[in-house]
Chain A
Amino acid sequence: MIEFKNISKKYGRDSGLDDVSFALDKGKIYGLIGPNGSGKSTTLKMIAGLVRPTKGTVLVRGKAVDRRIAKDVAYLSELDMFYQPFTVKDMIDFYASQFEDFRIDRVNELLAFMKLDPDKKLKQLSKGNRGRLKLVLALARETSVLLLDEPFSGLDPMVRDSIVKGLLSYIDFENQTVVIATHEIDEIEPLLDEVLAIKDGKVIDRQNVEELRETKGLSIIQWMKMTFKE
């Protein structure tokens, strides 16, 4: 579904990603973990066609990624950028006007699930509710790839819980590939099939969550502490 072939990205003289190769399958949920500045966001933005590699090719469904990949990829940004005077409803109409695959029929269900009031102005929303709205907008699209950049950061445990449950309720888990970049790994470990560890622009390890428990008796957190210490 997603393939990185010898991808490098330079920001000026700094290296964002350094000769990275991996492939992600359809119908699986992946965690992307690593310290700040390790290359997690760059990786997601590349899949979304928002950042171009300096070297190498990114493929999504066998096609080389360019800006038009937005048709196949839903991307939840870590940034909190909303047009303040909009209401929740305006935001939804805007998304519906931009994406053909936006399922307007699914939105009301999602809003109710997340307990969001469509008539509220965006500037009146709490941080938690802005986090929920971002997920609603991402989940209302019918795409083969769903990318979530730090969907939990700065949110309280109740909101995190509703995000996990929202994800599980609405992703198409047979056909969609989901990639979540996060620090809050213990929160979502049971959600993941596999975890990729990124450090200094390189994928340094990759593990199947259940295999790691079966063969080594380790949770991802324990494994991560070992992996990143080296």
Chain B
Amino acid sequence: MSQSGIDGERRRFIAFALAPSLIVLFAVAVLPAIYLVVTSLTPFQLTTPGSATDFSAPLRNYALLPGDPRFVNSLAVQAKLSFWGVLFQVLFGMLLALLLNVPSRFVEFARTFFLIPMVLPPIVVAVIWKLIYTPDISPLYYAAQALHFTMPALTSSVDFALTAIIIADTWEWLPFTFLMVLAALQTIPNEYSEAALVDGASTLQIFWYVTLPFITPILVVSGMFRLIDSVKAFPLIFLLTSGGPGTVTEVTNYYAYLLAFDTNEIGYSSAVTVVMLLLVAGISLGLVWMGRRREALA
């Protein structure tokens, strides 16, 4: 068989192997995205016939967005949740990784158990924190009572509801940053800190001048991944606060959900979702760009 015959046969196989996936991905990902954008240009409500194809004022939904206090508030809530959540996850994840970065069989065995919160079904994480935050059955409230200290109701208080969500979210995703930072720590050659030690550097100085510069890229990348995923926090909010009290914990994702499946404003909800998608795509592009730059530097 000639060389070109082999190549041709190979090329046909590649096309044949790739085509079904591309067709299915087009059907289950691209088409829905197009449909979402089209719906966002209509005042679609399930109860109003004909509203799904009413394109008389295509940008009406988008024009309404800046003046919708609940939408603007939801962006602010999402920003607060993402900022504090990601900050705590990166900070505590790093501290935990530093603590567990020791050569020991026992620690290697224990490491797996630190991952449990991350792999649990998100709804189970929400159930776990529901138990912690419900006064009648919570160990937290038992302890407070034993110490004669009055715990405020966390999830129904305007001051603490968002903090309660941030705590649960940090607990759930701390293992992710921990895992990423630990992997980075294990690539640092021992010689570096040994040399610094010989020169009389303190542990803190070694951390600041040797370890931290090494792991900064991975801190940024894992933070970005968490930032993108923080937009998806749904089960915690659904089960713990339902977006309340008032709209204190109502993030954009939850607002879009309520609009579409509670108040039937499908067209408007689609517009909210499109804006959210654009924000996530922007952050993703930033992540890819940073990855490229790191590859170029390496």
Tell me if chain B binds chain A: no
Write the residues of chain A forming the contact surface with B, with a CB cutoff of 8 angstroms: none
Write the residues of chain B forming the contact surface with A, with a CB cutoff of 8 angstroms: none
